[in-house]
Structure 1
Amino acid sequence: MENQQTTESAGGQVRMMLWGTPRSVSTVFTKFMSFIDDSQIYFEPYLCARWFGPDSTMFPENLAMAREFVEAASVVTSVTEGFERSECSFSWVKKQLEKPHAGKKLIFCKEMCFAPEGNYASLPVGYHHVFLLRHPLKVFPSWKKIYPFVEGKDFKLDEAPPVFFPTGFAFKEMSELLDHVKTTLDPEPIIVDTDDLLSNPQGMLSELFKKLGLPFQDKYLQWEDGGEISKKWIICKTFLQGQVVWDYYKNAFGSTCFTKPSPLPERSSLTADILRCVDASMPYYDKMFAQRLTLQK
């Protein structure tokens, strides 16, 4: 196992990777973490590297779709924040995450679990790893709604291009990443179930912060409305430009607290393609759910 930078050796600085699937409330979680004192937030740099950086696999395989996204986003000149996608290689991301960040007590990176697939050597050392797990019956119906390029009722989620929709439907990729992290980077990664978090944010977060070595305060459970805080994030400019066009962070940016979870949808209300994704993902979900963080009764 690689040599780890401990909290003590970093002068009390805590470093945390948050891994999630799409639609797992991970952007809301990121906004919540943004208001922790003396924090520095990274937002999906590995996804930028995978999709738009010099190491990208998107452009060779899905040139038209990628060009449409980038061209539509690039006309948004009102966005001045964010790093340029042209510099975002996987090695560049690792170097950024391992910087000292003097004066910061928390270095937090939110990322998609499938983004570093094939590039595990670029994962940073010195980080706690937290996996945010949400039930597939909630993930896939929401995921299908957010594709800005797809129109028509005939679109099948499990037939989307692999770069946009991972072949393991993200849950397989999350399980594989969890196994890799355990054996090479962090022997005790933490799995947090999204519904557990939303049902009892004070209890779950205070327990999580205790394990991370972060002081928890109840005031953190309420935060400012709007997306202004994202201007302080280290984030790809293309993502922020795309947000202006498609408003895909609307619900997260509009959040001011964690809200109670919704019930699981009935299978009869879902399309066949979504059910195929759910059924393929449930073994991975069940395996990780059994290892989730729970509170002492």
Structure 2
Amino acid sequence: MMTSLIQSTPSNTTTTTQPADGSSLPGSGPQPGTRRDGPRRVFLWSIPRSRSTVFVKCMSFVENVQVWYEPYLYSYHNELLTHPDSDREQMEREAHEGLERMRPILEETPQGRAHHWRQFRYDWVKGQLEADERDKDLIFVKDSAFAIDGHYRSLPSKKAFQYTFIIRDPRNMYLSYKQAFMNEVTEVERAAFNIVNDVDVYPSDELYKKSYKLWKFVIEETGRYPVVIDGDELATYPDILLPKYFQMIGVPFKERYLRWDGQHDVIKTWKTSYEAIVACRLNGWITKAAYSSAFKQPAKPPPNLDELPDDIRYCVEVAMPYYTAMHKHRLKV
């Protein structure tokens, strides 16, 4: 059990996220980690396209913070290279070709605090996140919930982290998700592109299920509901929800956190995969987020289910029960 190693709410506040019916969960009681050793440590577990990178950029301007960006996701990618069902030679060749195309850009991009992409392995990340960083007040780790599935033993066990989650309406999420992949395929491939059949790196139809599974794991370990925030609601009401989030993680909120520098220079301070973060900034996956300066309100509400393409509609139908369950316990406006 990891009860003493996962925090669902900060130790210096009595606010907790309780079940909707007001009942107590097994194991609820005094919050672990009353005496904090070193910096406060917070995970933000996300699904893709949930505005989580904009959130990370915002958090990058919190005083004396160290951001880790998707270390387990890059471990997941590296594990694919050694998976028995993977075509290792082809994947290695594609990785090499991609790095060669990027070489001029990589050579002129400062590495900052990033690491070489091959360093990212689950056990290596675990050790890095357990390391002492007494010169920091906050360690903030943004990662993809599906990437840790099957690897819970590689979560930090020597330092207590507070686990928080960001979700988004599956209709908006999958539309953005598909568009991100469409930007990487040819015009000929776009017409028939299917996010279930043609995306072999991510489990498209299980993304919400794996986030829900981790969420339930945290509840079982702590006896409390962890903080959940909806990405679209955060973008619509940042002045309300951001202070609430800061209160829940035990970090003082300042009004200036609602707007930040629009350049991408702060990314150099992130601990992440150097090659991957440069590629993601260039290929559109995080380009808008990297140059963001505030949360941008959604342009329109989610579409009706019958307006969606077949592949997206299927994923939405599979995802909606998991999203709904977590959404009930989100921070509310």
Same fold by TM-score greater than 0.5: yes
Letter in 2 for 1:265: P
Residue 98 of structure 1 and its aligned partner are, at CA, apart by 1.3
Correspondence for 1:21: 47
**1:128 corresponds to:** 162
Inter-partner Cα distance in structure 2 for 1:205 and 1:156? 35
Aligned match for 2:185, one of 150, 164, 176: 150
Q: Once the two structures are superposed, what CA deviation does each residue of 1:80-115 show, in whole Å capped at 9, x if it has no partner?
A: 412112221101111111111111111000001101
Instruction: Quote the residue 1:6 is aligned against.
Output: 33
* 2:246 aligned partner: 209
Distance 1:288 1:131, change over 3 A: same
Greater shift in the superposed pair: 196-205 or 211-220: 196-205
Instruction: State the shift of 1:228 in Å.
Output: 0.8
Task: Give the 3 Å change call, closer, same or farther, for CA 120–267 of structure 1 in structure 2.
Answer: same
Residues 49 and 56, structure 1, Cα contact 8 Å, conserved in 2: no
Aligned pairs for 1:121-200 (under 5 A) are 121-125=153-157, 126-147=160-181, 149-151=184-186, 152=189, 153-162=191-200, 164-166=201-203, 168-184=205-221, 187-200=224-237
Counterpart for residue 113 of structure 1: 145
Give the Cα–Cα distance (whole angstroms) in 1 for the partners of residues 292 and 172 of structure 2: 19
1:143 counterpart letter in structure 2:
Y
The one-character-per-residue Cα deviations of 1:155-183 (angstroms, maximum 9, x if unpaired) are 11111344x22164300010011111222
Is contact 1:73–1:245 with CA below 8 Å preserved after alignment? no
Which secondary structure state, in structure 2, belongs to the residue aligned with residue 110 of structure 1? strand
Structure 2: gaps spanning 5 or more residues: 6-31
Q: Deviations over 1:195-233 (max 9, x none)?
A: 221221121111111111100011110100121110010
Number of equivalences: 292
**Residue identity opposite 2:37 in structure 1:** A
Provide TM-score, normalisation by structure 2. 0.81
Aligned to 2:76: 50
1:265 aligns with 2:303: yes
Does the 8 A contact of 2:72 with 2:125 survive in 1? Answer: yes
Q: Verify the 8 A CA contact 1:20 1:26 in the aligned structure 2.
A: yes
- Contact conserved, 1:24 with 1:194, CA < 8 A, in 2? yes
Provide the residue aligned with 2:86 in structure 1. Answer: 61
- 1:291 lines up with 2:318 in the alignment: no
Which of the numbers 307, 312, 320 marks the counterpart of 1:274? 312
Task: State how far apart, in whole Å, the 2-side matches of 1:284 and 1:265 are.
Answer: 19
Q: Check 1:9–1:281 CA distance in 2 against 1; reply closer, same or farther (3 A cut).
A: same
Go from structure 1 to structure 2 and tell me whether the alpha carbon gap of 1:7 and 1:194 turns closer, same or farther (over 3 Å shift): farther
Q: How far apart, in 2, do the equivalents of 1:101 and 1:26 lie? A: 24
CA contact (8 A) 1:43 1:235 kept: yes
| Helix, strand or coil at the partner of 1:52 | helix
Greater gyration radius: 2
Q: TM-score, normalised by structure 1?
A: 0.90
